[in-house]
Amino acid sequence: MKQEQFLKILDRDAAELRWHAALELVALAAEVVPIDAALGRVLAEDVPAGVDVPSFDRSNLDGFALRAEDSFGATEARPVRLRLNPESIPTGVEPKLEVGPGTATSIATGGMLPRGADAIVAVEHTDLVDSGAGVEIRRACVPGAAVAWAGTDMGRGETVLFAGALLSSRETGVLAAIGLDRVSVVRRPVVAVLSTGDEIIAPGAQMRPGLVYDSNGRILCDAVRELGAEPRFMGAFRDDERALRRALERALDEADLVLFSGGTSKGEGDLCYRVVESLDPGILVHGVALKPGKPICLAAHAGLPVAILPGFPTSAIFTFHELVAPVLRALGGRSGARAETRAVRLAVRVASERGRLEYLLVGLIPGSDGELSAYPMGKGSGSVTSFSRADGFIRIERNREIVEAGTEVEVQLLGRGLEPADLVIVGSHCTGLDLVAAALAQQGFRVKLLAVGSQAGLAAASRGECDVAPIHLLDPATGAYNAPFLEPGLELCRGYLRMQALVTDPRETRGTEALLADPTLRMVNRNRGSGTRILIDELLAGRRPEGYLSEPRSHHAVVAAVAQGRADWGVAIESVAAPAGLYSRPLREESYDFVIPAQRRDRPAVRALCSLLESDGPVREALRQSGFGDPN
């Protein structure tokens, strides 16, 4: 039945139920693959052992095979003497002689236990006597000592792996141990991925204003691959309905699931939904109460799933994980698999929009007590870097407007496992910090950086939620940077000096006062809580020029706004403005320093950071070359 309403917003669960009802959500047919191609595949059927493992009674060490009762009473002071049988048993050789009462046979680790023997005594507890014709046993052993009995690991006919098992190196080792060289696995789902939009260009192509590189194609293909499926990138298509229809026909013939990215909204140029509405049954859902991801379109054709994901990268990947991934897991025989989650507390208060399930990217930071805190990484649906640097995301239910700091939340991890960082940096970001972090990475330290501004970084350090908080805060009362803001338990590692400047297009050469007095000029601001924002507010002295409410979170974003003509002036550090060719008017040289919780001062990565900053070595020279001065 065709959908009658366009963009009738559904609840997430209702949308999923409607879509699933039109799909054939069963594992795909089995195929037999060589064992060397089985890693990461899903077993299609139970695997019984065709042999005993081990297949013979095996010695676990170098020593002598004997009847345990013949060793009873043996001690260092009163050893028991046994006669040696005239054979030695290496690995891979079947014994010929039986071990009778009062005798023993030399045997190597992995050797087959001879008939009559029921224990092994280690060679270090024995001595050869009678010119090698006998052996003295200096330690008694019990029946079964150092012996692996045939079939004790796996018995012939025993089911060793069950259908649905995901084959890791452990499972492929079991398959090899029972002698299998081929195995029946679920066929990998084939997923056709199509990027759409007139603004899309392939990575490596020449960039020009108004275009964006196609990151969705790469993100979705690799997300598909992470779930054990086989992506087939069909290409990036302009908004050409005929070309899209041909591509869809090909995708339906070749794939088990079709993914479009972009072209799902209501705009005149958005064509994907028009292309899929002619399928059977066609569009089932167009619009889900998600943020980001509201315009997602879910369709089907003869039981085959088709999804049109939003064009913004973060929206696309969220909707992929939330709605497409479960379908892909079912087709690939992984229905029991679940994303890894962690229960943590939210570090800061978060506001949400009532009426839509919201996804919020977070970074996870361990506090001094070892408990994890979740820091928001930004909400922009077009942010690729926020997604790449986040550890996971939380869901904020549709009827919740505020999530208070300290609330326990469940974080769905992006990827498997959570590898803790050696150095957690929370605070103001700077290009000089990148140089320091790169040097630490070369020393083998894993560095996690959350750019939240000087004041938020200082608060995180006070709570013990980071190792280092870079700040550049001026105390108006003393005229000093950073040190006046230290609370008990916090220490300061001196960093470097940097120049904050008012930047404009090079054709604008008026002075600072003239620029600030010109009401026709548009500014670009910085985010609240940053040291640069404090400087800007001081500079404006209560004025609110056009653009004041525009609050990007980095010096690079300010420079880009001015360089592209979207703003006439902004405040940024000279080391970022100079490469962009902007004209700079120095405002204030500030100290960019590092606040360290005292209890974290002796961590190896913290000591390494301080050593880099305190020594006149390659890092200090690199900072000078980039325009950063030595601390006073």
Number of H helices, E strands in the chain: 16, 37
pLDDT at 3: 39
User: What tokens were used for 300?
Assistant: 């089907």
Q: What is the SS3 assignment for 502?
A: strand
Angle of helix 618-625 relative to helix 431-442, nearest 10 degrees, comes to: 150
User: Which stretch of 50-64, 110-124, 349-363, 553-567 has the lowest confidence by average pLDDT?
Assistant: 349-363
Q: Provide mean pLDDT across the span 359-366.
A: 83
Q: Average of pLDDT values for 38-52?
A: 92
Q: Is the peptide bond before 545 cis (omega within 30 degrees of 0)?
A: no
Residue 118 falls in which region: left (phi positive, over 0), alpha (psi -120 to 50) or beta: alpha
Helical H segments across 132-215, by residue range: 169-177
Instruction: Check: CB of residue 43 under 8 Å from CB of residue 183.
Output: yes
| CA–CA dist 549, 551 (Å, integer) | 6
What gap in Å lies between CA 493 and CA 609, rounded to an integer? 9
**Packing angle, helices 431-442 and 604-614, rounded to 10:** 120
* pLDDT given at position 593: 97
Contact 368, 460 (CB under 8 A): no
List of residues 6+ apart from 505 with CB closer than 8 A: 562, 563, 565, 568, 582, 583
Instruction: With a cut of 90, say whether residue 378 has pLDDT above it.
Output: no
Q: What is the spatial distance between Cα 374 and Cα 364, in angstroms, rounded to a whole number? A: 5
What pLDDT is stored for residue 2 in this prediction? Answer: 40
- Listed by start position, the domains of the chain span 12-26+188-331, 30-53+153-186, 58-148, 341-413, 421-632
Q: What's the pLDDT band for 264 if we cut at 50, 70, 90?
A: low
- Give the right CATH number for 341-413 from 3.40.1190.20, 2.40.340.10, 3.40.50.300, 3.40.50.720: 2.40.340.10
Tell how strand 257-261 and strand 304-309 pair up: parallel
CB burial readout 82-121, b (16+ within 10 A) else e: bebbeeebeeeeebeeebeeebbbbbbebbbbbebbbbbb
The per-residue pLDDT for 383 is 57
What fold characterizes domain 12-26+188-331?
Answer: Molybdenum Cofactor Biosythetic Enzyme; Chain A (3.40.980)
State residue 364's pLDDT score.
84
> What pLDDT score does 265 carry?
55
Task: Please report which confidence band the pLDDT of residue 544 belongs to, taking 50, 70 and 90 as the band edges.
Answer: very high
Residues present in the chain in total: 632
pLDDT at 415: 67
Phi, psi of 535 (to 5 degrees): -65, -40
Q: Can you name the CATH fold of 421-632? A: D-Maltodextrin-Binding Protein; domain 2 (3.40.190)
DSSP 75: -
pTM of the prediction?
0.76
CATH code given to domain 30-53+153-186:
3.90.105.10
Looking at residue 4, its pLDDT comes to: 40
Q: Half-sphere exposure of residue 50, counting CA atoms within 13 Å on the CB side? A: 8
For residues 354-362, give the mean pLDDT. 84
3-state secondary structure 220-244: HHHHHHHCCCEEEEEEEECCCHHHH
Q: Is it the case that residue 419 has pLDDT exceeding 80?
A: no
List the beta bridge partners of residue 596.
Answer: 491
Instruction: Return the minimum-mean-pLDDT range out of 373-387, 425-439, 612-626.
Output: 373-387
What does the pLDDT read at residue 385? 64
The pLDDT of residue 379 is above 70: no
Q: Which of 50-54, 259-263, 439-443 has the lowest mean pLDDT?
A: 259-263
Question: What pLDDT is stored for residue 73 in this prediction?
Answer: 95
Higher pLDDT, residue 368 or 196: 196
Q: Given pLDDT bands bounded at 50, 70 and 90, which one contains residue 103?
A: very high
| CA–CA dist 400, 416 (Å, integer) | 29
Q: What is the pLDDT of residue 215?
A: 87
Of 3.40.1390.30, 2.170.190.11, 1.20.120.1200, 3.30.300.30, which CATH number belongs to 58-148? 2.170.190.11
Could you write out the three-class secondary structure of 282-311?
EEEEECECEECCCCCEEEEECCEEEEEECC
Q: What is the mean pLDDT of residues 373-391?
A: 68
At 236, the pLDDT band (50, 70, 90 cuts) reads: confident
Contacts 24+ apart (CB under 8 A), 348-352: 348/375, 348/376, 348/405, 348/456, 349/402, 349/403, 349/404, 349/405, 350/376, 350/396, 350/402, 350/403, 351/401, 351/402, 352/291, 352/396, 352/400, 352/401, 352/402, 352/403
What 3-state DSSP class applies to 614? helix
Rounded to 5 degrees, φ, ψ at 23 are -110, 160
Is residue 571 within a helix (H) or strand (E), and if so which, with residue range? strand 569-573
What pLDDT does 529 receive? 79
CA angle 388, 236, 2 (to 5 degrees): 100
pLDDT one-digit tens code per residue, 560-569 = 999 999 999 9
pLDDT level of residue 317 (50, 70, 90 thresholds)? confident
pLDDT at position 5, please?
A: 41
Q: How far apart are CA 380 and CA 394, in angstroms?
A: 15
Tokens, residue 220 = 């979705």
Which comes out higher in pLDDT, residue 450 or 520? 520
Instruction: Report how far apart, in Å, the C-alpha atoms of 331 and of each of 191, 228, 318 are.
Output: 11, 10, 20
In this predicted structure, what is the pLDDT of residue 368?
66
Task: Tell the residue number behind the tokens 């001690």, with chain if given.
Answer: 75
Measured CA to CA in angstroms, residue 155 lies from 115, 234, 317 at distances of 20, 48, 46
Residues paired with residue 396 on neighbouring β-strands, in sequence order = 358
Q: What is the pLDDT of residues 433-459, one digit of tens each?
A: 999 999 999 999 989 888 888 998 999
The residue-averaged pLDDT of 248-261 equals: 94
Are the beta carbons of 80 and 134 closer than 8 angstroms?
no
pLDDT tens, residue by residue, 140-155 = 999 999 999 998 888 8
CA 257 and chain centroid, separation: 24
Report the chain's mean pLDDT, rounded to a whole number.
Answer: 89
pLDDT at 6 over 50: no
Residue 257 β-bridge partners: 191
Q: Are strands 212-213 and 200-201 parallel, antiparallel or unpaired?
A: parallel
Closest CA to 494 of 508, 507, 480: 480
- Is residue 380 scored above 80 in pLDDT? no
Q: What is the pLDDT of residue 417?
A: 62
Average pLDDT over residues 160-179: 91
Residues 575-587 have a mean pLDDT of 94
Cα-Cα-Cα-Cα dihedral sign, residues 128, 131, 134, 138: negative
Burial annotation 157-181 (CB, 10 A radius, 16+ → b, else e): eeebbebbbbbeeebbebbebbebe
